[in-house]
Structure 1
């Protein structure tokens, strides 16, 4: 018989309330042991919580969710008790003494829900992202995915491929029948071409989904002492990086996570770019250029007070970058004559910082998630979508191949879509995905 699992599902103690979740075939026995008669399904009951010997441990609320209409598809119960470490330890200790009960592993409740068909693999990933969501855009994207947005889209495409293959089978099986006009299979290829376009458009927005999930990365680059660390501290509104007049203070990448307009933004302070014989500093410069190459936006900082000091060869930087002139508080002249698109800021006074944030927000506006948007959020989604497009394109292009071969490419495309949702074998992925969860979820 399968084990009955239990775990603390709420936050770390101490807290006002702690929730202990139980799932498995022994839930009814466990409730009868620690809380008395089983309450009505999905109705909250206030009761004493006792151990197997009858010793009072706490008083709390008990909720029972009979399977299969529960999160895991099994019998599930939740004990809502006082959130002290002593109360939690006592109740967990009582459960550990029951036959067939054991502590849950990380993500085990969600894995049982997946195995019971309650949720698909994209919903599992969405649930994981929802737990970790830091910004409004992350919450919206993760919630849509957890609620089945991607599953509905991909299963819809798979259904259309199943229909196309059925038409091919009909053409093969009944080709000698007089009442079947022409080739049924020929009618499905325009639909397959249309499907290729839909998946391609969807895949083109994958980078947006990944940015929302992982963060919009901004690299601050420039020569030494141009004010990169000062600007990082100003944006973070706290002292994150060491600020010094000594050139080369920053040797490695320092990252700060910010919420700008409801989006996660990761700002990276980098080492000053210049010629040097110091091997450590040269490694810092290499990492700076790497950060600039992989960033979604590069802010190239220049010193407005000494514009010709420490000239930097910016040929290695991306063409799409924003030039930010620092230390504007040291300049008496008007800064309105800067080149179009350039911004002057002062990390000391805050001058121009709001304008800079506004420019960043304009870039982020392209990432806004609509209520009906469902975007790929992980690299595995993109790889499998690419596989599906490739198989479909082969099926369309190889007109001279036997129809059975072209149908096989359609089947391969459907398998790739199924691997995203977990409707086909993805056992090798499950351990990695569920290990992202905390214990109790």
Structure 2
């Protein structure tokens, strides 16, 4: 519960050079007094000997006393910077657990307290979750922008603008019974339209899902076209079994990799042909799954006969080292995954293509929840177009404000909060 005092290891798993144990809550100061014999000067690191309730020495450590509310969680916080051995950390955690009013923290509980105490809003908490899960440079920079409040500041500005518009409508409603009742200014509809256009521009941005899952490249073509060999070459790993025997790949194989800081998901598929081998149900399933992957692809590398791939597919002349092959036209990318010929050209084109489709570096990428709420606000604002009834206008603007409130976490369900903070590790 929120009034409990919680503790957890907030650094990496031991063994390590230093282990940081964080304590947050009303009894954080009492915990320092119990283990170190008193409180140090606030916000100043001091070295103390830590002892358990029996007086046995646990460690010689640095300790910090950070009184609330100006802390990460908005509560009193104590930090113990220990020697990072497993036994040291375990002994300090046992000593803390033995103190009255203290308990081990649940996953994400420190961040949830920061949200509950107004230190961060929901969009910033989502950004922190994305930052902890970031594996590529693009993911890191987008998450930093979100965690740093870029979307929160913009949403607050949108909300303030809607609040101002609502005030004008409410003023008109207050005087609606008078003969010289006020009318909305001529610029009112222009301001609403400008705000709606701004929201639509944000909704047109690339989404966080692409950053999270990677730019999706599907390798497709008939059996024995060299898809798996190219797949392995792109990954620089023997992820797929290759063989001169046609039909070796029977199912979809996915692998994620980062190139130039950009996340990619490469997908190897079963060979496509009009009809599977007679009575081969497994191959038929593999072909069906391969066709499904074509619909999900951000880009298809087509290794089959020129012009026979899906619309927009890149033509790949995959066996450029084989003089006996039937070469593709001048627009095809010529390469040999076996010798490495042309692979650098393909990688460079993929990186350039994906970079253009990804959010700009440091730009916030909306997740599904955020984009849904912005779309809801944009729809509410669009509903004011041509509307003259002030009651309907007021309701449309209220719906837009409500969407912004939910975006920032001013109105959130417990189930949604549980799902979000459950993504965090213990100690965060």
Question: What does residue range 170-209 of structure 1 map to in structure 2 within 5 Å?
Answer: 170-175=171-176, 182-184=182-184, 186-207=186-207, 209=208
Alignment of 1:403 with 2:408, yes or no, is no
1:77 corresponding residue in structure 2: 78
Quote the Cα distance in structure 2 between the aligned partners of 1:172 and 1:181. Answer: 9
Q: Is the 8 A contact 2:206 2:365 kept in 1?
A: yes
Give the deviation of 1:212 after TM superposition: 2.2
Give the deviation of 1:41 after TM superposition: 2.2
1:341 corresponding residue in structure 2: 331
Question: What does residue range 40-51 of structure 1 map to in structure 2 within 5 Å?
Answer: 40-51=41-52
1:364 corresponding residue in structure 2: 354
Quote the Cα distance in structure 1 between the aligned partners of 2:89 and 2:347. Answer: 45
The secondary structure found in structure 2 opposite 1:109 is: helix
Give the deviation of 1:59 after TM superposition: 2.0
Give the deviation of 1:175 after TM superposition: 4.8
TM-score scaled to structure 1, two decimals? 0.90
Choose the corresponding residue for 1:418, options 383, 405, 408.
405
The secondary structure found in structure 2 opposite 1:59 is: strand
Give the deviation of 1:360 after TM superposition: 0.6
Q: Deviations over 1:98-118 (max 9, x none)?
A: 111111111111100000011
Relative to 1, partners in 2 of residues 1:191 and 1:225: Cα closer, same or farther, differing over 3 Å? same
Q: Deviations over 1:320-364 (max 9, x none)?
A: 22121212222379x9x8434311121121111110011111112
Quote the Cα distance in structure 2 between the aligned partners of 1:48 and 1:161. Answer: 56
Choose the corresponding residue for 1:384, options 348, 359, 373.
373
Question: What does residue range 135-214 of structure 1 map to in structure 2 within 5 Å?
Answer: 135-175=136-176, 182-184=182-184, 186-207=186-207, 209-214=208-213
The secondary structure found in structure 2 opposite 1:37 is: coil
1:288 corresponding residue in structure 2: 290
1:23 corresponding residue in structure 2: 24
Quote the Cα distance in structure 1 between the aligned partners of 2:16 and 2:56. Answer: 23
Give the deviation of 1:186 after TM superposition: 4.8
Q: Is the 8 A contact 1:325 1:344 kept in 2?
A: yes
Relative to 1, partners in 2 of residues 1:167 and 1:239: Cα closer, same or farther, differing over 3 Å? same
2:3 corresponding residue in structure 1: 2
Give the deviation of 1:2 after TM superposition: 1.5
2:103 corresponding residue in structure 1: 102
TM-score scaled to structure 2, two decimals? 0.93
Give the deviation of 1:368 after TM superposition: 5.1
Alignment of 1:241 with 2:240, yes or no, is yes
Moved over 6 A (4+): none
Quote the Cα distance in structure 2 between the aligned partners of 1:353 and 1:300. Answer: 15
Choose the corresponding residue for 1:323, options 315, 320, 330.
315
1:14 corresponding residue in structure 2: 15
Choose the corresponding residue for 1:301, options 303, 311, 316.
303
Quote the Cα distance in structure 2 between the aligned partners of 1:42 and 1:284. Answer: 61
Quote the Cα distance in structure 1 between the aligned partners of 2:106 and 2:143. Answer: 23
Give the deviation of 1:262 after TM superposition: 1.4
Q: Deviations over 1:265-310 (max 9, x none)?
A: 11111222222142222222122111221121111124xxxx69xx
- Structure 1: stretches of 5+ with no match in the other structure: none
- CA RMSD, aligned part only? 2.2
Quote the Cα distance in structure 2 between the aligned partners of 1:234 and 1:394. Answer: 52
The number of equivalent residue pairs is 423
Relative to 1, partners in 2 of residues 1:340 and 1:41: Cα closer, same or farther, differing over 3 Å? farther
- Deviates further, 81-90 or 347-356: 81-90
Q: Deviations over 1:219-259 (max 9, x none)?
A: 11112222222222212212212222333322332222211
- Structure 2: stretches of 5+ with no match in the other structure: none
Q: Is the 8 A contact 1:343 1:356 kept in 2?
A: yes
The secondary structure found in structure 2 opposite 1:289 is: helix
